Structures are given as C-alpha cells and as structure tokens.
Chain A
Amino acid sequence: GENVEQHPSTLSVQEGDSAVIKCTYSDSASNYFPWYKQELGKRPQLIIDIRSNVGEKKDQRIAVTLNKTAKHFSLHITETQPEDSAVYFCAAPSGGSYIPTFGRGTSLIVHP
C-alpha cells in the first residue's frame, strides 16, 4: 500500500511569512494529491489538489507543487494570516485505487 510521510509536524510562522509543508509518497502510480485543512474542532476540508499531469497549481495564496520523479508534493501558503492556523493533511491514493492514505498532519501556527 501507499506510504505517505509529512513534514514538519509543527510549523510556527509570523503573520505575513510563507509556509511550506512537504509530503513524500511511495507508490509511483499514484496520480491524485489533495491537501485538507482542519481547523480546531472542525472537520477536514479540501483546500487544493493536484493531478499527476501537472507540476503546479495555484489558488490565490495557496499553491501545490508536484515532483513525480522524486515522489514528493508540497503545499505553499504565502502571506500567512492568523486564520491560516490549522492542521493540514496531505493524502495520496495507491496507484490502482482511489483509497487515500493520509499523512500525519502539520500543525501550522501563525502568530499575529
């Protein structure tokens, strides 16, 4: 099955700084890579995703990059704001299925 590693486990930044979270995966056939955001006490919600036929995708202040050769993908948040404080999860499905394996999560803290 898929093995997904996520780093760092905790990330503390000042408001306005950039934040980068990285995930590596093991199954070279994986083709869909979502990122979910979970605010305290809430459910995880998709914030951005990328498919294996593109290398980068942006949505306002967030972007995801994918390096299929190295088997890693990263979440980039620019101009961080206190409301970005949350736990972020990456996920990757085993290549032959749609069942995702989640990373262990990154707790992002944005200090005002």
Chain B
Amino acid sequence: NAGVTQTPKFRVLKTGQSMTLLCAQDMNHEYMYWYRQDPGMGLRLIHYSVGEGTTAKGEVPDGYNVSRLKKQNFLLGLESAAPSQTSVYFCASSDTRGKETQYFGPGTRLLVL
C-alpha cells in the first residue's frame, strides 16, 4: 500500500516549456487535490476532483489544467511554464464526507528559469 505517490520529485523547466505532474493513489479515494506551497503562503488549492471524470477550480487555477481519467490518477499540467510557477506541488486525496482526512504525496519541487 503506497498511499499517494507523485512523479517526478524534482524538475527544472525553462520559461514557456510544458510539463505534466502525475499523482496516483491506491486507497480508492473519491477526492483528489493539487496544492502549491510557497514560503509564508501555506497550501493553496489549484484544482480538485470529486470523482473520476470531474474537475473543478480551486483558489489559484490560472496557468494550470488537470485531468482525472482514472479514479486513481490526477494529472496537473502546465502548458507554458512561468517563473511564478516555481513552487513545491503537493497532491492529496481524501475519502467521502465523514472521512475528510487528507493524505498527501511526497511533493514535486519545480523550478522555472
């Protein structure tokens, strides 16, 4: 039981490049989330999903897209990376109402030059 995993762990991009971050969970959770963490800013929600095939915008969605084609996977895409997207990205998953504990992945450190 691996919990929540993320790939890659670290990536360096040049401005304008694109990339996809992959999140996978093996706990059969319905809900999945993408956060970014910047110093002094806490965890800010980018996008989330309440089930396979559904996605919704969070607090800071601009410049990102997501897809959840399979229940266990949640992908975060950056179409044209900008230096402002330099951050640590965390994926999380949670079960249904009444079991709201979020389980986080190990994080992806992204540097955009």
CA distance A32 to B41 in the complex (A): 22
* The residue from A6, A34, A45, A89 contacting B100, defined by CB atoms under 8 A apart: A34
In this complex, what residue of A is CB-closest to B109? Answer: A41
Nearest-CB distance from A7 to chain B (Å)?
Answer: 13
Within 8 A of A (CB), among B50-64: 58-59
Give chain A residues whose Cβ lies under 8 Å from the Cβ of B94. 98
Asked whether, in the complex, the Cβ of A100 is within 8 Å of the Cβ of B90, the reply is no
Task: Tell me the total A-B contact number using a CB cutoff of 8 A.
Answer: 48
In this complex, what residue of A is CB-closest to B31? Answer: A98
Interface stretch of the complex, out of A58-66, A68-76, A77-85, A102-110: A102-110
With A44-B90, A98-B94 as given contacts, are A89 and B42 in contact (CB-CB < 8 Å)? yes
Give chain B residues whose Cβ lies under 8 Å from the Cβ of A29. none
Asked whether, in the complex, the Cβ of B104 is within 8 Å of the Cβ of A43, the reply is yes
CA distance A9 to B41 in the complex (A): 10
With A43-B90, A44-B90 as given contacts, are A102 and B104 in contact (CB-CB < 8 Å)? no
Interface pairs (29), CB distance under 8 Å = A6-B42, A9-B40, A32-B100, A34-B100, A36-B102, A42-B106, A43-B90, A43-B104, A43-B107, A44-B43, A44-B90, A44-B102, A45-B104, A46-B101, A46-B102, A49-B100, A49-B101, A89-B42, A98-B31, A98-B100, A99-B45, A99-B48, A100-B100, A101-B59, A102-B35, A102-B42, A102-B43, A103-B42, A105-B42
Q: What residues make up the interface of B, taking CB atoms closer than 8 Å to A? A: 31, 33, 35, 40-45, 48, 58-59, 90, 94, 97, 100-102, 104-107
Q: What residues make up the interface of A, taking CB atoms closer than 8 Å to B? A: 1, 6, 9, 32, 34, 36, 42-46, 49, 89, 93, 98-105
Considering the complex of A and B, which 5 residue pairs feature the smallest CB-CB distances, nearest first?
A: A104-B42, A43-B104, A102-B43, A102-B42, A105-B42
